Chain A
Amino acid sequence: MGEWTFIALLFVISLILPAVPILAGRILGPRKPNPLKNSTYECGVETVGDTWVQFDVQYYIFALVFLVFDIEVVFLYPWAVAYGQLSLFGVVAGIVFIVTLAEALLYAWRKGALEWV
């Protein structure tokens, strides 16, 4: 538990440290807002339409494959820590796990789900 005290303190400090200059910038810096300045930037022309432009599903697919690999890694880390003590069977079991998920990648690849639009 003691080792997490340091991380907790560092977390609080690392939030304060960047917050202070931003606050100082707000206070010290000039503040003369006008509607034109505050309007959103669109290469100099007036903003057209809603900000919420329609998004493609492709982003979802990438995040999805990432999620699957994320979970795979969660299983693999304890396996890697124990690797030195594992028998050949244990290593092969881990490899079967990896290969199963490689199939998932292969499927996405073959279906063209990994193409950027």
Chain B
Amino acid sequence: MIPLHWYLLVAAGMFALGVYGVLARRNMVAIIMSIELMLNAVNINLVAFWRYMAPENLNGQAFAIFVFTVAAAEAAVGLALIISIYRARETVVAKEIDMLKW
């Protein structure tokens, strides 16, 4: 069997990489992808804790499904915003969209 901390370490690594991506990438699509990574790392944690701490309880799985839902909604709206901004300003570089209104 695999000990719990292996899963947690993988999830932590994925989360840290996601944080780096959000901070370091210029392209907004790449930033959204990094956010997806972070949400997924959280999901791995949820499921790992569910399996190792309380498998007879459903809450871990149910929470994971709701995280999926929120992640999907976030991606849908976020990407739509990117498309909208691209059409208005011809750019997808996060740094160039800093005027709060146009």
Chain A residues with a Cβ under 8 A of chain B: 57, 60, 64, 67-68, 70-71, 74-75
Contact B80 A60 (CB under 8 A): yes
18 sampled A-B residue pairs with Cβ under 8 A? A57-B83, A60-B79, A60-B80, A60-B83, A64-B76, A64-B80, A67-B72, A67-B75, A67-B76, A68-B72, A68-B76, A70-B72, A71-B68, A71-B69, A71-B72, A74-B65, A74-B68, A75-B65
Per DSSP, chain A at the interface is helix
Interface of B is mostly: helix
How far does the alpha carbon of A71 sit from the alpha carbon of B75 in the complex, in Å?
A: 13
Chain B interface residues (CB < 8 Å from chain A):
65, 68-69, 72, 75-76, 79-80, 83
CA distance A70 to B73 in the complex (A): 12
CA distance A1 to B80 in the complex (A): 40
Report how far A25 CA is from B71 CA in the complex, Å: 43
